[in-house]
Amino acid sequence: MQRELNSMVLTSPSTKVQHFLVVEDEQGKRTIPLMDSTCSIGRDLSNSIVIHSPSSSRQHALLMRVTMPDTDSHMFRLIDGNLQGKRSKNGLTVNGQACTSHDLKHGDEVIFGHDVRARYYMTNNISDVHYLESCASEDVTGFLSNLHNPMQTLTTADEMLTSSNEAAIVRLASFPELFSNPIIEVNLTGRITYLNPAAQAQFPKLRDEQSKHPILTGLVALICNDNDKFFVREVEIGNQVFEQSVHFIAESDLIRSYIVDITERKLTEAALQDSERRFRAIFNQTFQFSGLLKPDGTLLEANQTALDFGGLQLEDVIDRPVWLARWWTTSTDTQKRLKAAVLEAARGQFIRYEVAVLGARDVVATIDFSLKPVRDDNGDVVLLIFEGRDISDRKQVEAALQQAHSELEVRVQQRTAELKQSNEQLRSEIVERQRAEAALQSSVATNRALINAMPDWMFRFSADGIFVNYKDAPNTTLPLPTEEFLGKPLDQVFPQDTATSLMNCIKNALGSHEMQLFEYELDHDGNPLMFEARIAVSAENEVMAVIRDITERKRYEDDIRTALNKERELNELKSRFVAMTSHEFRTPLATILSSAELLEHYGHKWDDTRKLKHLNQIQQSVEHMTGLLNDVLLLGKAESGNLAFKPIPMQLTEFCKGLAEELQITTKTHEIVCRLQDQPAETRMDEKLLRHIFTNLLSNAIKYSPQGGTVDFDLVFEDNYAIFNVQDHGLGIPQSECDRVFNSFNRASNVGNISGTGLGLAIVKRSVDLHGGEISLTSQEKVGTTFTVQLPINQRVEQDG
């Protein structure tokens, strides 16, 4: 079924060029249309194009889509090996010449390994495309031999690359097609010169709308009106927010944009701001005066009630010693006393006393002031909480009562003397005494009313811990687990531990006549509540206990402590990450800069071989940095719980043998000795995670055995587990550091100048955990290290479906 070429109607040069690969292997000949994206070629079924031959590698080659500069056309570059830079086992040839990289041209013949043959064709005739997609393989051969090359009527790939300036060539070597984030390039007239696949997918109308699209609006004007060659801006499109990093490439008058979707981040920031507002609202409602101090007395926070009382703004007092604030009277003794109280609280003591404060318009009030230390997990004081209640009215009432009692006593004495002198004055004395008793009763009633107004529970206890009487607090929960408690001892009402502690406080108060402070926890309808009891002597052999619900305050303290711990952990992680990246990125960046400068200044004098050498150095450095970033991203997925676990049936023994063969190729000074037991039954594991585990362990065994030698790789099956051992005879790990080897960014102190990120073993540990397995190690310095991995052999999880 040979189609006549004379009937073919050539389309205009603007028609999109179609690319095809005709592959002939053990399963026969077939035509494969090449999509507009980079694809992989190899024997493994996970490749985009699968070739069937024992001489081909699992990942044999890459077919990389390269966009032609300043056009909508593209070409394909064939690269030997996989994305990690590992070359194929038997290589490839193009038109009879062995090569590692080649820009394909119409009619090129490629041989993968020894016996897989392929030819590359292009056409812009739509009838050719329809014919190749529908006809049988035996009808294709004659037709392809006469297939029209559309690039003969257009500018050829070589001419287009030759006419491109050096900046465009550098762009082709940077693999923008592989980035998952959109990348856009425009010239100074606003016309789009390049879009990577991610940009086309994210903004499908971009090429039609050009500079009118929201992502490009005003971009050229900002570059032309500003001397900066780099800036970052945020762009809102519908419900999405994007962060756009803009670079001006002066050498080629191009503007390159890197775009990241930050919608989730913006939502998170809004949620944090809302949380801060809620915290501020709650904080301003706590007590009459409250705030937070550093252990040295520096004021961190004050509630609005305290600021309003003093007629102050937060900036008037923040980051200053609290004893210098305008609240306190100008008395030097007051400031010294407050400073001493802060220092004592910073040593872990609870402080409480009365102090005079100076408000707006010079109003002086008395507050019941307290300082409470907050400790971290190590027992160190990291924060001080100050609280205060205005007790000016109470002090005035107490003074009035004291004065009334003094006056009454004087009057009684006077009336008694007058009774002795004259019986005639007896009636008037009795009347006066009755008046005095009425005044006393009024004072007692006033005192009772003040006590009833207090929002706390009040209990009276005898010296032996018996409930004598109580005053409840309105609209609050009774801080007792037993309702009928009057006349009962403490240990019949409270849990034993709480009763014992309260009894000790009662004894201490009666013995020292000093107030005792005690905190305890009770369960109420399944919810734990915290209470604070302040115990003081109220009569002979009797004490008064004022009990307050401090559950919310304790919750705030725990939240603050948790936030401080989280901040410290994040700071430590950030420091280790910055140290690692600054060290590991310095060498490849120096190599890239050096090679780029040499190509810039001497490239026109060099032959292609020498140029290719420096381009390969740049490529290898980029691949090394990409590997580091991939490790960081993989660890981030594992830490956030997004690393997938997908067990499948697999031949574990064959997998280990193949992995050892792959790594053996990377070293000439080491020998990987495998002792692998045959698999006794079906094994289900995640092959991708297994490769992370044992590639890291075997690579580390080779890297940290700089003198060479053997690396032992053992596999045995016991019960329902597969047990792996990886043993080297190298540097070993100091015994004191073995318990930290699986931490992120951790490296042993004896590795010297051997490069590494400290991420490999952290990834190994999380991959083992996902399998439900265990990993352990034994090590001795200058002798070697053995890692033992134990994994269930038939793991089934809900994700399997």
Identify whether the C-beta of residue 513 lies closer than 8 Å to the C-beta of residue 505: no
- Where does residue 763 rank: exposed (0-12), middle (13-18), buried (19+ CB within 10 A)? buried
Question: Could you write out the three-class secondary structure of 170-228?
Answer: HHHCCCHHHCCCCEEEEECCCCEEEECHHHHHHCCCHHHHHHHCCCCCCHHHHHHHCCC
Give pLDDT, residue 721: 92
* pLDDT greater than 80 at residue 26: yes
Helix (H) or strand (E) holding 531: strand 527-539
Strand pairing report for 183-187 and 28-34: unpaired
Rg (CA), the chain: 41
Per the structure block, which two tokens stand in for 347?
Answer: 């040593």
* pLDDT greater than 60 at residue 616: yes
Question: Could you write out the three-class secondary structure of 218-258?
Answer: CHHHHHHHCCCCEEEEEEEECCEEEEEEEEEECCCCEEEEE
pLDDT bucket at 583, cuts 50 / 70 / 90: low
For the chain, the average pLDDT equals: 79
Alpha-carbon separation of residue 155 from 102, 108, 151, 162, 606 (angstroms): 19, 18, 6, 11, 26
Q: Residues 79-138: pLDDT tens digits?
A: 888 866 688 989 999 999 988 878 899 999 999 999 999 999 988 775 665 555 455 445
Strand pairing report for 684-685 and 648-649: antiparallel
Give pLDDT, residue 763: 80
- The set of residues, in sequence order, having a beta carbon less than 8 Å from that of 649 and lying 6+ positions away, is 682, 683, 684
pLDDT greater at residue 421 or residue 651: 651
Alpha-carbon separation of residue 196 from 181, 220, 249, 399 (angstroms): 9, 20, 17, 83
Identify whether the C-beta of residue 27 lies closer than 8 Å to the C-beta of residue 133: no
Alpha-carbon separation of residue 732 from 345, 432, 701, 725, 738 (angstroms): 48, 99, 10, 15, 10
Can you tell me the mean pLDDT for 204-215? Answer: 89
> Cα–Cα distance between 326 and 324 in angstroms, integer?
7
Closest alpha carbon to 520 in 487, 481, 471: 481
Q: Residues 502-541: pLDDT tens digits?
A: 999 999 999 998 999 988 888 877 788 888 899 999 888 8
* pLDDT greater than 50 at residue 157: no
Per the structure block, which two tokens stand in for 595?
Answer: 């090679």
Give pLDDT, residue 7: 32
DSSP 12-36: -TTSPPEEEEEEEETTEEEEEEEPS
Q: Residues 431-489: pLDDT tens digits?
A: 777 777 776 677 656 656 666 666 688 888 999 999 888 877 776 667 777 668 888 89
Per the structure block, which two tokens stand in for 355?
Answer: 């102090």
Give pLDDT, residue 682: 83
| Cβ-based neighbour number of residue 407 at 10 Å | 12
